[in-house]
Amino acid sequence: MSSGEELLTLSRDEFDVREDEEQYAKLQDTVDLLVAAGYFRARLKALPHFDRVVGGMVWCITLCNRSVDVDLFYSENSSIGQKIALTERVVEVLPHLKCPHSIEPHQIQGLDYIHIFPVVQWLVKQAVEAKAKRGDVVQNHAIYQFGRRFRSSVGEPLESQTNTYAKNYANLKAQCSPMRMYKRVDGFVCSDLHEEVRCTLMEYAGLFIVLRFIITNITTVLVFTERIIFEVVIRKVEDVSAKSVCVEKQRISAGALAHIIDARALHQASAHITMEVHDRYTDGDMANSLLVEAEQELMKLRKEKKQIEDELLEADELCSSLQENIRGVERRIATHLDFEQSANKELVKNLTQLTAEHDGMRKREADFKANCKAEMCKMQQQLEVLHARTRAHPIENEDKEHTVARQRLEKVRLQAAAVNRRIAVEQRRLDSMPSQIEINQYQRRIIELYNQMAAKHRETKQFYTLHNTLIDVKTTSKETYKDSFIENLENVLKGVDATLDKVSSKSKELQTMRERISDDYQYLLDKERLYHKTVDDFKKVRCCFFIIGRIGLCCLAANRTRAQGLSHFNFFSRFPISNIGSGIRRTGKGMTDGCHSCSLSSPLRSPAHVSSKPCECWKF
C-alpha cells in the first residue's frame, strides 16, 4: 500500500503504531492463535495489545520447558523501561530456543504484527508439542506408579482388577492392624480428653492424622522447621514396616517431637493415661466413636486452619498495602521537603501564615460554638426558671416580658446567623484556594500533557516531511517528469530573458524621459528667477510712486486748509506728520495704502487715481 493510505495512530501502550488492514489481520490471527493454544487472556479487550501479545509469547516460552539463563518477569501495565527490558529478554531467549525467525525489540515494541506473527506461530507450535510431550510423560509415570504399587496391568478386565484391588486391600488391612508404635513416658498425665485421644492415636496407627492436626495448630513455628519435621516423620513412616515399628520403635525421638508436643506435659500425663487406657478403649465401638470424634475435630481444625490461613493472607495483604501507603507518605514527605527547599521562602512563609490563620479561625469557630452552646444552655435554664416563677407567681406583665425575651432571642439569632455567614464566607474563601499538593499535581499533569503534545507534534511533522519527501522522490524517479522538468526550466529561462529585455527597454525609455524632464525643469527654473527679479524691480518702482502720491496729497490738503482759514497748527494737529507714513501697511499680496483714521485700505493706485478719488476722511 502507498504511504498516503496509511493511518498514523497512537496505540494504547504509548507506542506509535502504523496500522493498516494487513496489520489488523495479523493481529487477529495472532490473538486467535494464542487463544487456541490455551492463553485465554488474549481475549480480554480491556488489556492493551502489547500485554496480550507479549504475555502470550512469555507464556509459550514458559511452556516450552527449556533451560535458559534469562529471567522473564512479565507484569501487566508496565512502564516503558520495563517493556523495553522485557522485549530485549524475549529476543535474547529466542536464539536459545533455536527459533528460525528473527525479530528485533523495536518491532515488538512497535507491534509490527507482520514480523511478530511468524514468531508467535512457531512458539505456539513448540508450546503445544512440549505440553503434549509433558502430558504423555506424566501419564506414563502415573500409570507406572499405580501399577508398581497395586500390581495391576492395563489389559486385565475390570472384574479381575476389582478382585485384585479387594484382595490387596484386605492384605494391607490385615498387615496394618492397629499396633502400638510408641510408649508413653512414666508419670505422663493428660489434662483433658482431646489430649488423651491425640496421645493414643500417636501410640497407635494415627500418626498421619495427629501430624496434620499438630501442623495446623503450629502457627508461630517457622515454615522451614515445619517442612523438615514433616519430611522426617513421613520418611520414617514410609521406610519402616509394621513389624519393624513394633520391634525397633518403642519411643519417638526427642528431636522429631520437640516442636510438636511438650515433653513435660506428656511426662506428667503418662501415668494417668496408662491407668485409664485399658478401661476406656477395650471396647471397639468406643474406640471407633472416639476415632469419629477425632476425625470430626480434625475437620474442624482443618477449617480453622483454612480460616487462619485466609486471615493470614488478608493480614499479609493489609501489611503490604500499609507498607505501600507508608512508602507513598514518605515519598510525599520527601517531595514536600524538596519543594520547601526549592520553593520561594516568601511564598512558603505566606502559606504557613495562612495555614496558621486558618487553624486559628477553626479554633475560634469551635470556641464560639462552645460559647453559643453554653449561652443557649444558660438561656434555657433561665427560661425554665422563668417558667417556674410564672407558674408559681403569675405576673401581670407576662406578655410584655415574653415579647422582650422574644426580641432578644431574635436579636441573638440574627447575630448568630451573621457570624455563621461570615464563617461560611471565610470557609469558602479558604476552600477556594488550592493546596500545594493540588498545585503540584496540576503542574505535573500540564507538563506531561505539554511534553506529550510536543512529542506528537514533532513526530507528526517528521511523518509529513517523510511523506512529502517520498512523494517527491517517487515523482522525480519517472522519466516523463524529468523531461517535463527540463522543459519547464527552459520555459522559465525564456520568460526570464523576455522579462529582462522588457525591463531594459523600459529603463532606456525612462532614462530618456528623465533627461527631457530635467531640461524642462532647468528652463522653468530660469523663468522663475527672471520672474522674481522682475517682481523685485516692480516693487521698487511702486514704492517710489507711492511716496510721490503721498506728497501730492499732503500738498492738496494744505491748500484746502489755507482756503478755509485754518492755521498751519490746526492742520498738523489734525493730521500729524507721523500718521502719514502709518497709512502704508504690507499685506500678504503686496503693498496697500489706506487711511489711518477710518482704517480703509485699497490697492496701490496711480497718482492720477489718488488725486481723483480721495478718502472721505479728508473732508472737513
Q: Name the grid cell of 358.
A: 486558618
Cα–Cα distance measured from residue 231 to residue 210, given in angstroms and rounded to the nearest whole number: 15
In a domain, 459, yes or no: no
Q: How many structural domains are present in the chain?
A: 4
- What's the rounded mean pLDDT across residues 102-109? 82
Q: Name the grid cell of 92.
A: 535474547
> Which of these three, 432, 448, 478, is where a domain ends?
432
Q: Are residues 250 and 356 in the same domain?
A: no
pLDDT top residue among 263 and 549: 549
In a domain, 10, yes or no: yes
Q: What is the per-residue pLDDT for 276? A: 52
Under a CB-based contact definition with an 8 Å cutoff, are residues 217 and 297 in contact? no
pTM, to two decimals = 0.27
Q: Are residues 9 and 141 in the same domain?
A: yes
In a domain, 129, yes or no: yes
Under a CB-based contact definition with an 8 Å cutoff, are residues 268 and 187 in contact? yes
Q: Are residues 547 and 599 in the same domain?
A: yes
Q: Are residues 42 and 131 in the same domain?
A: yes
Range of the domain at 376: 346-432
Q: Are residues 222 and 304 in the same domain?
A: yes
In a domain, 544, yes or no: yes
pLDDT bucket at 393, cuts 50 / 70 / 90: low
Residue where the block lists cell 495562612:
354
Q: Are residues 20 and 61 in the same domain?
A: yes
Cα–Cα distance measured from residue 12 to residue 17, given in angstroms and rounded to the nearest whole number: 10
Q: Are residues 120 and 228 in the same domain?
A: no
In a domain, 259, yes or no: yes
- What's the rounded mean pLDDT across residues 577-597? 41
- What's the rounded mean pLDDT across residues 133-151? 77
Pick the closest to residue 560 from 599, 515, 618, 514 (CA basis): 618
pLDDT top residue among 284 and 458: 458
pLDDT greater than 60 at residue 210 = no
Across 117-126, 155-164, 253-262, 283-292, least confident range = 253-262
- What is the secondary structure of 177-189 as a DSSP string? -------PPTT-B
Q: What is the per-residue pLDDT for 496? A: 94
Q: Name the grid cell of 483.
A: 523531461
Q: What is the per-residue pLDDT for 561? A: 67
Residue where the block lists cell 508419670:
187
Q: Are residues 123 and 205 in the same domain?
A: no
Please state, as a whole number, how many other Cβ atoms lie within 10 Å of the Cβ of residue 135.
Answer: 10
Q: What is the per-residue pLDDT for 74? A: 60
Cα–Cα distance measured from residue 471 to residue 474, given in angstroms and rounded to the nearest whole number: 5
pLDDT greater than 90 at residue 148 = no
Q: Which residues pair with 586 in a beta bridge?
A: 591
In a domain, 588, yes or no: yes
Residue where the block lists cell 510721490:
548
Q: Are residues 232 and 306 in the same domain?
A: yes
Under a CB-based contact definition with an 8 Å cutoff, are residues 275 and 196 in contact? no
Q: Are residues 8 and 111 in the same domain?
A: yes
Q: Helix, strand, or coil here: 565?
A: coil
Pick the closest to residue 178 from 281, 75, 304, 62 (CA basis): 281
395-449: per-residue pLDDT in tens?
556 678 888 888 999 999 999 999 999 998 988 888 888 788 888 888 989 999 9
Most confident of 134-148, 232-246, 253-267, 581-595: 134-148
In a domain, 254, yes or no: yes
477-491: per-residue pLDDT in tens?
777 777 888 888 999
Q: Are residues 7 and 115 in the same domain?
A: yes
| Phi–psi pair at 84, nearest 5 degrees | -65, -45
- What's the rounded mean pLDDT across residues 254-279? 45
The overall average pLDDT reported for the chain is: 71
> Which of these three, 131, 147, 163, is where a domain ends?
147
Q: Helix, strand, or coil here: 157?
A: coil
Q: Are residues 539 and 600 in the same domain?
A: yes
> Which of these three, 376, 410, 432, is where a domain ends?
432
Q: What is the per-residue pLDDT for 568? A: 45
In a domain, 63, yes or no: yes
